[in-house]
Structure 1
Amino acid sequence: MSDEGAGPVVHAAVLREPAHRVSPQAVPFWRVSALIGDAVLVVAVVVAYVLIPDVPGWTLVLVLLVAAAAIAHVVLMPQIRYRVHRWEVTDTAVHTRSGWIGRETRIAPISRVQTVDSRQGALMRLFGLASITVTTASAAGPITVDCLDADTAREVVARLTAITAATEDDAT
């Protein structure tokens, strides 16, 4: 049997993971962030349990499950997220992978980059971290690289700015 007229042969490309991890300081940052959010939730659930009269006995089990889930979130999420989150900027593309339950991989050609922004909230400053956001001409939205060392984030922003300024395409 002949393959003539069958069209072009498509070879499966293997996508490698982005080269760089986020800063190791991301782990304690994510842990403190999760602790703050989860503590608010657990306190609200416990206060509701205590203040609401005639609560059925099974609701104590629900309160304990919420507390156990919060503890697991604070302990497990930062480590898993650190192993997964990766990023890379080359002369041709911005490549990220993120998530801790689900995974998202994004690749944006440099020719599609429109703006490069950095963000450093108060808690991020405390840990010496910053995030960068690369806005592209894409319906999928911007690409964000969270929890880079602040100096690395400044270098990446400067590099992306230089690369995109030298690119002749119009990012549309």
Structure 2
Amino acid sequence: MSTAQPAPAREPAWSLSRSAISLWVAQGVVATVVEALVVAALIVFVPSDAGVWTVLVRWVAPVVVLVTAVVDIGVQPRLRYRVHRWEVTADAVYTLTGWLNRTWTLVPISRIQTVDVNRGLVQQLFGLATVAVLTASSQGTVRIPHLEVEVARRVAEDLARRAEQVRDEAT
């Protein structure tokens, strides 16, 4: 498993669940609320005669929160959905992640040691799960995040079965 391997000739076939967009929007809303509360507290507690700090806190900070909110809620979730892809082929699992820094990761089926399905609290609220493909490599685990629960279960079962078959054939 190495990101140094050449990328496949085409993008992986599958997108994440569309519910991932809602999850990322919800995360953006929560982050925006926290940022707005911090800025509101600063506005209340920074004295009006604090010079440059007054201008920064009262005018610049709210604009920064607004711009961040637009990106976190309106832009980023849809971009992430369009660029995060995954596929399981006869020979490998591969993922394409990142909306600013793109990363191809390929894991040969023969390298798979364990396949897990994880569901964090937020994922549970949106009916999503992550398939974690573990290898013996020092690179660690490859994750296919934000799949519908049933899809994640089927992918994990299929990968575990095929990895076991490859191990059986090798002995």
What is the TM-score when the length of structure 2 is the normalising length? 0.84
Q: Equivalent residue for 2:45? A: 51
Q: CA deviation at 1:18?
A: 0.6
Bigger proportion of residues as helix: 2
Q: Equivalent residue for 2:160? A: 161
Which range moves more in the overlay, 66-75 or 124-133? 66-75
The 2-side partners of 1:114 and 1:38 are apart by: 40
Q: CA deviation at 1:57?
A: 1.6
Structure index of larger Rg: 1
| SS of match in other structure, 1:101 | coil
Contact 1:42–1:70, Cα closer than 8 Å, also in 2: no
Q: Equivalent residue for 1:27? A: 21
Q: For 1:1-172, what aligned pairs fall within 5 Å after superposition?
A: 15-53=9-47, 54=50, 55-63=53-61, 64-168=63-167
| SS of match in other structure, 2:167 | coil
Aligned residues: 159
Contact 2:109–2:163, Cα closer than 8 Å, also in 1: yes
Identity of matched residues, %: 35
Q: Equivalent residue for 1:6? A: none
What is the TM-score when the length of structure 1 is the normalising length? 0.83
Amino acid corresponding to residue 61 of structure 1 in structure 2: W
Deviations, residues 89-142 of structure 1 (Å, cap 9, x unaligned): 122111001112221110011111121111112221221111111112222221
The 2-side partners of 1:168 and 1:130 are apart by: 27
Gaps of 5+ in 1: 1-11
Contact 2:83–2:99, Cα closer than 8 Å, also in 1: yes
Amino acid corresponding to residue 39 of structure 1 in structure 2: V
Q: Equivalent residue for 2:3? A: none
Q: CA deviation at 1:13?
A: 8.1
Which range moves more in the overlay, 103-112 or 115-124? 115-124
Deviations, residues 37-83 of structure 1 (Å, cap 9, x unaligned): 23212321221232122343233333122332222221101100010
| Aligned-residue RMSD, C-alpha | 2.1
Which range moves more in the overlay, 28-37 or 63-72? 63-72
> Taking structure 1 as reference, are residues 14 and 122 closer, same or farther at Cα in structure 2, changes over 3 Å only?
closer
